Structure 1
Amino acid sequence: MATFSKQLSFRWADLDPNFHLRHSVYYDFGAQHRVELLEQLGLTLKVMQKEHIGPILFREECIFRKEIHLADLITMQTKMAKMNADASRYSIVHELYREDVLCAVITVDGAWMDTKLRKLASPTPQIVVDALNSFPKTTTFAAL
């Protein structure tokens, strides 16, 4: 998969008192986009529940470059920045663009958890490894 992008639409409730997108909305859109991408790649929430695995985040960071307002047409692109061979650890980058202007970059570092044992785990179902290997990659993609 070369790219995974989505046009975002905002609600009045997404704005802060300064009439631009409030900071937590960026993270919500990133989380939703990751889930949609995994679903599109066959790693559905139902599969995760059946296999007793779930994604967790160690770090979530957003760099805010330009304000985003209610009527702005924003496209989010999601790509894999780093991943180890067994797909147990990863870094994903979301870039939010208004036309060709980069407005924000969200970076998350994550892993997989065994939802029964409540401990970190290497994903054993091949569908996890296949899905993450199918992720679009950044130009600076690196193995962990």
Structure 2
Amino acid sequence: MTSFSKQLSFRWSDLDPNFHLRHSAYYDFGAQHRVEILEQLGLTLRVMQTQHFGPILFREECVFRKEINLSDVIVMKTKMSKMKVDASRWSIVHEFYNDEKLCAVITVDGAWMDTKLRKIATPTPEIIIEALSVFPKTDDFIAL
């Protein structure tokens, strides 16, 4: 698998006054896709709740290259660009394509939080390391 891909469907409420995709909608689509991917990899919300861990973000940045309109057919491709060997820190990239033309790139840097201690923690459940190790990687992936 080279990436997780998803065709996006836009709603009227996803548009801004200029009739193209509003900036915050990009972040919403990225966040939803990350949750769906974690679910596919076995890191369900239920597992995270019972194991007392969850993902947190340090940075979320979008570079807008080409506007997206309501009727555009957009495919979002998601890959891991960086990860520590113990999966404690990672970076994920979401690329938005319209007919193979790159429209936007979201980059997020994150880690795991112990939800009991409310502190950043190295993941102890093996499921995290196993799941993230099969996450598709970018061509320039960096193992930290």
TM-score range, shorter chain: over 0.9
Secondary structure in 1 aligned to 2:47?
helix
Distance 1:127 1:121 in 2: 15
Aligned residues: CA RMSD: 0.6
Could you say which residue in structure 1 is the equivalent of 2:25? 25
Distance 1:23 1:3 in 2: 23
1:66 matches 2:59: no
Amino acid aligned to 1:14:
D
Give 1:102 deviation, angstroms. 0.1
Amino acid aligned to 1:56:
I
Identity over aligned pairs, percent: 76
Name the TM-score, length of structure 2 as normaliser: 0.99
What does 1:99-138 correspond to in 2, within 5 Å? 99-138=99-138
Deviations 1:8-38 (A, max 9, x none): 0000000000000000000000000001011
- Alignment size in residue pairs: 144
Could you say which residue in structure 1 is the equivalent of 2:78? 78
Deviations 1:27-73 (A, max 9, x none): 00000000101100111010000100000000000000000000000
1:12 matches 2:12: yes
Distance 2:71 2:55 in 1: 32
Q: Post-superposition, which runs of at least 4 consecutive aligned residues in structure 1 deviate over 3 A? A: none
List alignment gaps of at least 5 residues for structure 1.
Answer: none
List alignment gaps of at least 5 residues for structure 2.
Answer: none
Secondary structure in 1 aligned to 2:112?
strand
Distance 1:48 1:36 in 2: 14
Distance 2:3 2:140 in 1: 15
Give 1:99 deviation, angstroms. 1.1
Give 1:143 deviation, angstroms. 1.0
Name the TM-score, length of structure 1 as normaliser: 0.99
Could you say which residue in structure 1 is the equivalent of 2:141? 141
